[in-house]
A = this chain, B = another copy of it.
């Protein structure tokens, strides 16, 4: 079998809509993208729906699919975040995303982000991580700023529970008591032990030295843990194992790195990859090409286009696209001749929506023996005239795995 290598360059949320202020072009059409167009011209193009037409996906789900899983493999955001921040998680663990928050004595949430606390969160986590209640051990790890991840490990647990996070923007809502979402004993038990843990954490945090110092400085104490994004870690065969390949992922964002670990890909990151406009694309390109020497499949991720879509900044989004174009130019310059370069995105984030939409994203593949089509530009319109047609994310990724010579034949 002919085995070949692939780099997938992922522009998070790149898909958009025509915008009046950009002469009725999408940010991708408006931007100057000679390198993306080189890939389109030399390659085969199409449009990709991560799951199916009209279904918006989160960054975690979008990447789960780009790494080679199917939507039903999704373990929930919690487990992915846990892996992303370097926690060890086991099948069966219940995992939640958390915010350190400030609540008053009656439980009203005064600040969902505890004044965007930056310092001392590791000491806070240390104090309460490892607590055991009724046979369930709680592990807490702090992430960036006010964020943290909570793992519940024990028997008889369920992910069918609600959030303690009211998610309202500090409007005087109290935190929620965690409720079971079904009638099972497991859901009831999980909600009960988690509520006991949250109370115990509140008691310990209220008198924690980090918080006492904050209050003295007039800052908001991190005296409560708001939970959301619950998931149950599933038993998933890593994609690297399924395909018998070595994979690597270059990214600055913990969610993407979390999916990479789940998939058995080597997570490669650096503080110079900022998940924003000031990310170091030279470093990303260099690492992607270096990883490709040892690996079969490398994903290199850029977050900026998504951020500018969420912020409804079309011109800034076009600039983010040009940054992605330069990254792709660096890759093209030094790609090995017998490897494929693919362009993809996890989803669309139209500026006027400010959120992910279910519109498809353009895809392109260039490399040895590719069935070149007539498309000359990489964008949301031209992609519709490409030789790949309109594919689901699973079909697109399997197409790449097939070009790599890694998909088993059905029949004989």
Interface string of A390-412 (1 = CB under 8 A from B): 11000111111110010111111
A51 is an interface residue with CB less than 8 A from chain B: yes
**CB-contacts of A346-384 with B (<8 A):** 350, 352-359, 368-374, 380-381, 384
Is A47's CB within 8 Å of the partner chain B?
yes
> Which residues of the other chain, B, contact A401 by a CB distance below 8 angstroms?
54
A55 CA to B397 CA, complexed, in Å = 11
- Given A52-B398, A381-B373, A410 contacting B350 (CB threshold 8 A): no
Beyond A18-B371, A52-B395, A381-B373, is A412–B58 a contact (Cβ under 8 Å)?
A: yes
Identify which of A6-14, A60-68, A127-135, A194-202 touches chain B. A60-68
CB-based nearest B residue for A399: B54
Residues from chain B with Cβ under 8 Å of A140 in the complex: none
Q: How many residues of A contact B (CB 8 A)?
A: 65
Q: Within the assembled complex, what's the spacing in Å between the Cα atoms of A373 and B369? A: 27
Assess whether B54 is in contact with A369, with CB atoms less than 8 Å apart.
no
B389:A386 contact, CB within 8 angstroms? no
Distance of A236 from chain B, by nearest CB (Å): 15
Kindly state whether residue A53 has any CB partner on chain B within 8 Å: yes
Chain B residues with Cβ below 8 Å from A55 are 398, 402, 407, 410
CB distance from A157 to the nearest CB of B (A): 21
Is the pair A412, B54 in contact by a Cβ cutoff of 8 Å? no
CB pair A58–B410 under 8 Å, yes or no, is yes
Which among A60, A368, A369, A411 has the highest number of chain B CB atoms within 10 Å? Answer: A411
B26, B369, B388, B402: the one contacting A19 at CB < 8 Å is B369
Q: Is A17 an interface residue (CB 8 A)?
A: yes
**Would A54 and B407 count as touching, CB distance under 8 A?**
yes
Which 3 A-B residue pairs are closest in the complex by CB-CB distance? A61-B411, A58-B411, A54-B398
Q: What are 26 A-B pairs with beta-carbon distances under 8 A?
A: A1-B355, A2-B353, A18-B369, A52-B398, A53-B391, A53-B395, A53-B396, A54-B398, A54-B401, A56-B407, A56-B409, A57-B411, A58-B409, A58-B410, A58-B412, A60-B411, A61-B412, A71-B410, A77-B411, A352-B368, A357-B402, A371-B380, A374-B381, A374-B385, A384-B386, A385-B385
Binding site for B on A (CB under 8 A): 1-2, 17-19, 26, 47, 51-62, 64, 71, 74, 77, 229, 350, 352-359, 368-374, 380-381, 384-391, 395-402, 405, 407-412
